[in-house]
Amino acid sequence: MKAKVTHIRISPRKVRLVVDAVRGKSVNQALNILTLARKKAAGPVKKLLESAVANATENAGVREVDNLVIDRITVDGGPTLKRFMPRARGRATPIRKRTSHIQIVLREQGD
């Protein structure tokens, strides 16, 4: 009962703020939190959680979605896009556009 998404164009630091709010919660409670969260990262995390629930019902044969709990959810840094911004006197400063990899593992509450 796993799902992962890679190369999300949000920095890992910002995604971790959202992920920390739902870590260890039940699936229904986490979906409610993510629906009401006012962060850009809440959208991809919610979609990933829904994908993990779909994987649990289709592949693992879980019948009761209400019994699922977020066991592990991690955010790792992905590749960084390197860009440059022009500055005064012909200089350029580097801009690092960071990406994230998110993994989620669900388990049934009785385990």
Going from N- to C-terminal start, the domains of the chain cover 2-108
Q: Please, what are the averages of pLDDT over each run of 10 residues along the chain (111 residues)?
A: 95 97 95 96 97 93 90 97 97 98 92 58
Give the pairing of strands 2-8 and 92-97. Answer: unpaired
- Provide the CATH number for the domain formed by 2-108 in this structure: 3.90.470.10
Cβ atoms 81, 96 nearer than 8 A: yes
**Ranges of H-type helices in the chain:** 12-22, 27-36, 42-58
User: Does the predicted TM-score (pTM) go above 0.75?
Assistant: yes
What pLDDT is stored for residue 111 in this prediction?
58
Helix pair angle (27-36, 12-22), 10° resolution: 130
Identify the H or E element spanning 96. strand 92-97
